[in-house]
Amino acid sequence: MSDKTMKLTGQGVDVDLPILSGTVGPDVIDIRKLYAQSGMFTYDPGFTSTASCDSSITYIDGDLGELQYRGYPIEQLAEHSDFMEVCYLLLKGELPNKEEKAKFINDVTYHTMLHEQINHFFNGFRRDAHPMSIMCGVVGALASFYHDSLDISDEHQRLVASYRLIAKMPTIAAMAYKYSVGQPFVYPDNNLSYSANFLKMMFSVPCEEYKVNPVLEKAMDLIFMLHADHEQNASTSTVRLAGSSGANPFACIASGIACLWGPAHGGANEACLKMLQEIGSVDRIQEYIGKAKDKEDPFRLMGFGHRVYKNFDPRAKVMRETAHKVLAELGVQDPLLDVAMELEKIALEDPYFVEKRLYPNVDFYSGIILKAMGFPTEMFTVLFAVSRTVGWVSQWNEMIADPIQKIGRPRQLFLGETQRDFVKIEDR
Ligand code: CMC
């Protein structure tokens, strides 16, 4: 606890608020006693100035465009690490040595299969159901199958639930896709890497041999790594809030999936690809830049802007490189990549985007990569959910183990009617 304070004076109030310092990043004013001392709340819709917790997992410097998992810059992890190692790092705090990594992969991989009865759930969905709606339902339902990992006060059970979620998400995601195209479910292959196994479950069919392309396996792994965690974003905060009531981990992750589905969050890569398709050719870019700048027009340039990054999203740079590699490997000439690059160039020079510090975010190029790899647009957010699961469970574990954790219960500024008497229906 620091001995720095900040004085808040006025309206008959005179309180000293403690100032807390993290290891890096802005200090925070501790307002926990503010209501008791002043009778007032703070007002911060969208939590633009509020730290909801302390955390040691992920750090972002939005002005510098930096992202670090447990202190390691994302660029270094993208170059030298892999998704399983990143999962270990996020969950446990340190990079594993060789033996720890092998054991971790084994422990997670052990859980890739689903209880066979879960397969029947899928028949209850329409074939054209959005896979995110299937994800919300099926992941939430895991709680009814894995009763031995629901006791959140038991650290071991929390770990088993975390492994189960990381391991089973790709299986559920691939099944949601297979169901939509009328192909048989493909069981996990535990001899393959996390990413290769996912590609196989997605794209193989029983009648043909399937060989995983190592370039696509690497691209998939990178996409998983880049999306693995992003500190207190909307879906992670949702998971923490759901978990703060003591809800089971499967229900909490289902709530995170629901939040991620929105177009302002995980749905942005799907929305971005649709936008690029709608623009269609380089000569129509100016028209859409105009729409994005027009206050009367609700249109926004998808894949641009970020609540935290007021500089290049470091993940977007890795994604742009990966897009080029994947398209070259597959021999795909996608005109949408030309539209994206030109759009990025024009927007980065346009005073509207420059002044508002709107830069491409992670979703700007990811859609192009995923499309080239054969993923339908509806699956894009699902892939985000698969990657983010490790971030969600790491943050959830951190919260449960935090002795100062309380049930999340924001306050409000009430603007509605004051008390009035009920009027019977015949008198209204
Ligand atoms: N296109 C045009 N104008 C924009 C855009 C955009 N993409 N993003 C923000 N602005 C403008 C906005 O109109 C506002 O202008 P003004 O100050 O004149 O009212 C200003 O910039 C600030 O916008 P804001 O909505 O107050 O900023 P925010 O921090 O609440 O929103 C955001 C962040 C990501 C929701 C927003 O930038 C956006 O809607 N972007 C498009 C969707 C998108 O790509 N989302 C993916 C986020 S990255 C993946 C993830 O981490 O989930």
From the CA of 305, how far away is ligand 1's center (Å)? 5
Neighbours of 187 (CB within 10 A): 15
CB 216 within 8 A of CB 199: yes
User: What would the pLDDT profile of 287-321 be if each residue is shown by its tens digit?
Assistant: 999 999 999 999 999 988 998 898 888 999 899 89
pLDDT score for 2: 63
Strand duo 58-61 + 28-29: pairing: unpaired
Q: Write down the pLDDT at residue 253.
A: 98
Q: Does ligand 1 have an atom closer than 6 angstroms to the CB of 130?
A: no
Helix 285-293 × helix 268-279 angle, to 10° = 130
- pLDDT tens-digit series, residues 146-163: 999 999 999 999 999 999
Does the C-beta of 301 come closer than 6 Å to ligand 1?
yes
Mean pLDDT of 384-389: 97
C-alpha of residue 308 to centroid of ligand 1, in Å: 10
Mean per-residue pLDDT of the chain: 94
Ligand 1 proximity of 268 Cβ (cutoff 6 Å) = yes
C-alpha distances out from residue 204 to 69, 71, 264, Å? 33, 38, 32
Query: What gap in Å lies between CA 250 and CA 162, rounded to an integer?
Result: 9
> Which residues on adjacent β-strands are paired with residue 16?
7
Residue in the structure block whose two tokens are 């996608």: 334
Q: CA nearest 230: which of 377, 363, 376, 411? A: 363
Share of the chain above pLDDT 90, in %: 84
- Which among 306, 311, 366, 392 is the best mutation to test ligand 1's pocket, defined by most ligand atoms within 8 Å of the CB? 306
Q: Which of 206-220, 244-258, 283-297, 306-320 has the lowest mean pLDDT?
A: 306-320
Q: What is the pLDDT of residue 219?
A: 95
Cα 38 to averaged position of ligand 1 atoms, centre (Å): 34
Best residue for ligand 1 mutational test, from 257, 265, 304, 313 (most atoms within 8 Å of Cβ): 304
Atom of ligand 1 nearest to the CA of 307: 29
List 59's β-bridge partners, or say none. Answer: 68
Start-end of H helices in 227-355? 234-244, 249-260, 268-279, 285-293, 314-330, 335-349, 351-355
Burial call 26-40: b when 16+ CB within 10 Å, e when fewer = eebbbbeebeeebee
Residue nearest to atom 41 of ligand 1 (CA): 302
- Establish whether 306 is a catalytic residue: yes
When pLDDT is averaged across residues 257-268 and rounded to a whole number, the result is 90
pLDDT tens for residues 2-52? 689 999 999 989 999 999 999 999 999 999 999 999 999 999 999 999 999
Q: What does each C-alpha distance from 24 to 53, 60, 71, 189, 332 come to in angstroms?
A: 15, 10, 10, 42, 43
pLDDT of residue 88: 98
Instruction: Please tell me if the CB atom of residue 306 comes closer than 6 angstroms to any atom of ligand 1.
Output: yes
CA distance 80 to 73: 11
Is residue 362 lining ligand 1, measured as CB closer than 6 Å?
A: yes
Q: Say yes or no: CB of residue 265 within 6 Å of ligand 1.
A: yes
Nearest to 222 by CA among 344, 111, 336, 75: 75
Q: Which one of the listed residues 107, 306, 334, 338 is annotated catalytic? A: 306
Query: pLDDT digits over 173-205, tens only?
Result: 999 999 999 999 999 999 999 999 999 999 999
307 Cα–ligand 1 center, Å: 7
> So what's the pLDDT on residue 333?
84
**Ligand 1 pocket member 239 (CB < 6 A):** no
Which residues pair with residue 386 across a beta bridge?
none
pLDDT (tens digit, 9 = 90+) per residue, 90-106? Answer: 999 999 999 999 999 99
Classified as helix, coil or strand, 13 is: strand
pTM here is 0.91
Q: Is 60 in the pocket of ligand 1 (CB under 6 A)?
A: no
Distance CA 215, CA 327 (A): 10
CB of 304 sitting under 6 A from ligand 1 = yes
Evaluate if residue 1 carries a pLDDT over 80: no
pLDDT band at 256 (very low <50, low <70, confident <90, very high): very high
Q: Is 363 a catalytic residue?
A: yes
Structure tokens at 60: 């972002």
In this structure, what are the phi and psi dihedrals at residue 17, rounded to the nearest 5 degrees? -105, 130
Best residue among 279, 361, 388 to mutate for probing ligand 1, ranked by most atoms within 8 Å of CB: 361
